[in-house]
Amino acid sequence: MIYNLLLLTAFIAATAATITWNGNDEHVVMFEQFVDKFDRKYHTVEEAVERFKNFKHNLKTIEQYNSGNHTFTLGVTKFTDLTKKE
């Protein structure tokens, strides 16, 4: 648990330096909740940053899909930090 907290702290520091936030740190909170809920473990800060980028991209896809007129909606699942190829 402490390891995850330290890794998330390092992740937040690293992402603040490497990612343009555009004033939307709601994604950081959502990612922290995702990591906690699905017990995700990343071995390096670089991996966590890459997974966060995937997460943000997939959130955008989810939001775009859900804005249409469909019979079902998409949501955050244990796969939301993966690439399409994965």
Residue 25: predicted pLDDT: 78
Q: What is the pLDDT along the chain (86 residues), one digit of tens a residue?
A: 666 656 666 666 655 544 444 446 789 999 999 999 999 999 999 999 999 999 999 999 999 999 999 999 999 999 999 999 99
**Distance from C-alpha of 2 to C-alpha of 4, rounded to nearest angstrom:** 5
pLDDT at 24: 60
Within 8 A by CB and 6+ apart from 49, the residues are 11, 14, 15, 18, 19
> Where are the alpha helices (H) located in 1-86, listed in sequence order?
2-18, 26-37, 45-66
Asked whether 53 and 19 are in contact (CB, 8 A), the reply is yes
pLDDT of residue 22: 47
Transcribe 23-44 into DSSP letters. T-THHHHHHHHHHHHTT---SS
- The whole-number pLDDT of residue 7 equals 63
